[in-house]
Structure 1
Amino acid sequence: MKVVKVINNNLIKSFDDKNNEVLVMGCGLGFKKVPGDEINESLIEKIYTVNDKTNSSQLIQLLEKIPLEQIQTTNEIISFAKASLGKKLNQNIYITLVDHINFALERRKNGVAIRNALLWEIKKLYNHEFLVGKEALNIISRRLGVSLPEDEAGFIALHFVNALMDDLSMEKTTDMTKMIQRILSIIKYHFKLELDEYSIHYERFITHLKFFAQRIFTGVKIEDQDSQFIEVLKLKYKKEYECTLKVRDYIKQEFNCDLTEDEMIYLTIHINRITTTI
């Protein structure tokens, strides 16, 4: 792999063996290097594959201004998250998370604390991602000597939630979290009960709500397959269907989205399961 451009002492632009543009990072990797030189592979710590010119520009700007130790810390966090979550992450996580951690460290240095208003919801709805966020705080403390509050574990968790879903911005991921919590509140109020958050039906329902909310925000709908079945549900699960109607009205009012009959069917069945196993 050859040097195409030296960004700084720790960052080089190059091309891989498939002719994809890459940014190669390593301590001292670009020191006294010029275009055409061979890259010392023993110094390579991370290779970023660039998908488009916009991402390339954003990543270069970030990696130029942010201290190397913060970038290395972020890379360790992402590597841990990949192994723990066992799923593919959107490459943009390298841009968004390193920027967030840098900003969080600046806030800490300046004594500015930001409360995470969704911390409780994040713990409940995205427990695995939150635990990754907690470990991220441990990595930051170990490598950088800075202790960040638990609120930051929640913010970091949302970055990984976002990285697991295509076509969603961080703002939409936050809105999606609020939507799920609001739907759960509608159910609790309608039935006047607390849900068993440790039951298998509850876990399945939360999974359904995550994909349901993702479809709402990406504009993907489940096509109606059996319009007669909804009439059966209205009679068999009257109270559950009435609750589903409240959820439908909330979605329509807040997000101007109409639910298909199949979505109504799935919601009604799930609501029945989590409210009859209490």
Structure 2
Amino acid sequence: MLQVKKVLNNNVLIAIHPSYNEVILTGKGIGFGKKPGENISSEKAEKFFVLKNEKEQQQYKQLLDYVDESFIGLMNECMEKIETRLQIQLNEHIHVGLTDHLYFAVKRIQQGIDIKNPFLNETESAYPKEYSVAMEVVNWLNKKLNIDIPEGEVGFIALHIHSALTNKNLSEINRHTQLINELVQIIEISLNIKIDRKDVNYLRLVHHFHCSIERISEGNIPSEKQETLAKVLQNEYPVCYNLAWKLIKIMQQKLQKPVPDEEAVYITLHLQRLSKQQ
């Protein structure tokens, strides 16, 4: 048995748990008529989550001040669908981040305002599993709310899911995406080309950048030596090889982490494919 601490609305309340201290219980009508100090069984809840971080607890409580109760219920159902689909428990900060994002996204759509997502193809390439689940979420919400959520939102939702899966801060993920966009712009200027954002070679390059940046950020640096191949590429494709090193220096500066020399080999090969096709 848990003890009711505070009723937030008819469908959400805060309770005292013997192991986790404060927990948030959600379920249709679970808070109706409840008083602080009353006992309540956790089985009455459709979902309960801990939100151990005090700041996230406060953010969730503030969320309930402006988000409709019905939408909170819908989002709790949405979280369960994502977890069932991925067969994993998501980091609970998604309850705050994704609920807040989608609430305002739906409001904008209902007002006829469309926010463009410039990194849609890049997100799909970098996080295909999350993107697929996000697409299912959008289709489900379209039916539930009788609206037409634009495709750009799929990318934003995918980033929230990736953040909850990896326990990475969304702002860090966005910084990495912006870094990749900066690298791509430098590639286009340096090689004097316009890259097709749907081209398979471009998507492979973006996927490589994402994987490399995540490894470098985590300090997971592989120790593969590619000195012989590096010399061959330096002689055969000097423009792409020199550009690869320029990109590596930018990555080091932005990430404040060492980038392994082997990256020059992989980036050169990607650049050569792109420039050759152009």
1:23 equivalenced with 2:28 (yes/no): no
The match for 2:5 is: 4
Secondary structure in structure 1 of the residue aligned to 2:39:
coil
Secondary structure in structure 1 of the residue aligned to 2:24:
strand
- Gaps (5+ residues) in structure 2? none
TM-score, structure 1 length as denominator?
Answer: 0.77
C-alpha spacing 1:44/1:139, structure 2 compared with 1 (3 Å): same
Whole-Å separation in 1 of the counterparts to 2:223 and 2:213: 20
C-alpha spacing 1:51/1:110, structure 2 compared with 1 (3 Å): same
Per-residue CA deviation, residues 138-189 of structure 1 (Å, 9 max, x unaligned), is 221222222211121222112122223334333x322312333554676787
C-alpha spacing 1:273/1:248, structure 2 compared with 1 (3 Å): closer
The match for 1:264 is: 261
How far has the Cα of 1:89 moved from its partner? 2.8
The match for 2:140 is: 139
Whole-Å separation in 2 of the counterparts to 1:236 and 1:181: 28
User: 8 Å contact 1:16–1:22 — kept in the other structure?
Assistant: yes
Whole-Å separation in 1 of the counterparts to 2:198 and 2:118: 23
The match for 1:221 is: 219
User: 8 Å contact 1:93–1:160 — kept in the other structure?
Assistant: yes
The match for 1:236 is: 232
Whole-Å separation in 1 of the counterparts to 2:207 and 2:84: 21
C-alpha spacing 1:82/1:42, structure 2 compared with 1 (3 Å): closer
User: 8 Å contact 1:162–1:169 — kept in the other structure?
Assistant: yes
Work out the percentage of aligned pairs sharing the same amino acid: 27
Q: CA RMSD in A?
A: 3.5
How far has the Cα of 1:95 moved from its partner? 0.4
Letter in 2 for 1:265: E
- Gaps (5+ residues) in structure 1? none
C-alpha spacing 1:141/1:54, structure 2 compared with 1 (3 Å): same
C-alpha spacing 1:195/1:64, structure 2 compared with 1 (3 Å): closer
The match for 1:36 is: 37
C-alpha spacing 1:32/1:130, structure 2 compared with 1 (3 Å): same
The match for 2:178 is: 178
User: 8 Å contact 1:132–1:157 — kept in the other structure?
Assistant: yes
The match for 1:116 is: 117
Whole-Å separation in 1 of the counterparts to 2:38 and 2:184: 59
Aligned residues: 267
TM-score, structure 2 length as denominator?
Answer: 0.77
C-alpha spacing 1:213/1:224, structure 2 compared with 1 (3 Å): closer
User: 8 Å contact 1:22–1:50 — kept in the other structure?
Assistant: yes
Whole-Å separation in 2 of the counterparts to 1:187 and 1:83: 40
1:74 equivalenced with 2:70 (yes/no): no
